[in-house]
């Protein structure tokens, strides 16, 4: 009788472990389609897109910044201050964008006032790369924050996307992952009334 109970628990454990193993081994690419082309009406508020930070793959961070700004501009969510003006303001202010805990409310307010914008958008992209039985898998996590001109946080948006490829090609991967993550984030931001 004891032997039968132990065998039953062993079978259940093997089935559970097997199902977990199979679901993680056969992950597929999860891509986000472009955000709907619904446009906000009226005059779009002015925003500054600070460089999105990524410590291990700058190409992906740059693609996310550009794609997200383009998506929001096309849908009349924001008009953006020119990037060179934003870069000069960051340099002149001496604000360190690489802080682990992000910028303070006073720093957001300073940048908004220097640039004459209603909102400051800032974020972080992290990438985790692992080798699975089906190929390389990269998980992309995008975290975006918007602060108003007084420095107060308006909202945050987070998008997590995973991709699996049979080979590890970095340039194409960066473009696909960044576009997908930006599309997902843009879709979420469209639901907010600025």
CB-CB contact of 70 with 78 (8 Å): no
The mean per-residue pLDDT over the stretch 177-184 comes to: 84
User: Taking residues 9-15, what's their average pLDDT?
Assistant: 47
Question: What pLDDT does residue 26 have?
Answer: 35
pLDDT at 25: 35
Alpha-carbon distance 67 to 175, whole Å?
Answer: 10
pLDDT above 80 (res 120) = yes
* Mean pLDDT lowest among 123-127, 161-165, 168-172, 176-180: 168-172
DSSP label of 85: H
Q: What residue ranges define each of the domains in the chain, with the CATH number in brackets?
A: 28-190 (3.40.50.10610)
Q: Which residue has the higher pLDDT, 166 or 185?
A: 185
| pLDDT top residue among 173 and 18 | 173
Nearest-angstrom CA–CA distance, 115 and 50: 11
Q: Once rounded to an integer, what is the mean pLDDT over residues 28-54?
A: 78
pLDDT at 122 over 60: yes
| pLDDT tier for residue 44 given thresholds of 50, 70 and 90 | very high
pLDDT band at 123 (very low <50, low <70, confident <90, very high): very high
Least confident of 111-125, 143-157, 180-194: 180-194
Better-predicted residue by pLDDT, 55 or 71: 71
What pLDDT, on a 0 to 100 scale, did the predictor assign at position 100?
67
Taking alpha carbons only, the member of 121, 117, 95 closest to residue 106 is: 95
Between 134 and 142, name the one with better pLDDT: 142
- What does the pLDDT read at residue 33? 67
Give the span between the Cα atoms of 75 and 15, in whole angstroms. Answer: 48
Identify the weakest region by mean pLDDT among 40-49, 56-65, 112-121, 162-171: 162-171
Note the Cα 190 to chain centre separation in Å. 15
Give the chain's count of helices (H) and strands (E): 5, 5
Burial pattern 123-152, b for ≥16 Cβ within 10 A else e, equals: bbbbbeeeeeeeebbbbbebbbbbbbbebe
Q: Is the pLDDT of residue 62 over 70?
A: yes
Average pLDDT value for the chain: 79
């Amino acid at each position: 009788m004891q032997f039968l109970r132990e065998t039953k628990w062993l079978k259940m454990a093997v089935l559970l472990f097997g199902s977990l193993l199979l679901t993680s081994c056969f992950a597929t690419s999860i891509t986000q389609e472009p955000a709907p082309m619904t446009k906000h009406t009226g005059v779009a508020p002015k925003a500054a897109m600070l460089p999105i930070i990524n410590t291990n793959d700058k190409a992906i961070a740059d693609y996310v910044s550009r794609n997200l700004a383009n998506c929001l501009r096309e849908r009349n969510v924001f008009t953006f201050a020119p990037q060179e003006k934003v870069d000069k303001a960051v340099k002149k202010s001496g604000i360190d964008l690489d802080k682990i805990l992000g910028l303070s409310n006073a720093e957001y307010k300073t940048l908004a006032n220097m640039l004459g914008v209603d909102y400051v958008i800032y974020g972080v992209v992290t990438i985790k790369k692992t080798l699975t039985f089906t190929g390389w898998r990269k998980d992309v996590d995008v975290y975006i924050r918007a602060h108003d001109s007084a420095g107060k946080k308006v909202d945050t948006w987070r998008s997590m996307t995973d991709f699996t490829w049979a080979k590890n090609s970095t340039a194409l991967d960066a473009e696909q992952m960044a576009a997908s993550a930006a599309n997902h984030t843009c879709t979420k931001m469209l639901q907010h009334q600025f």
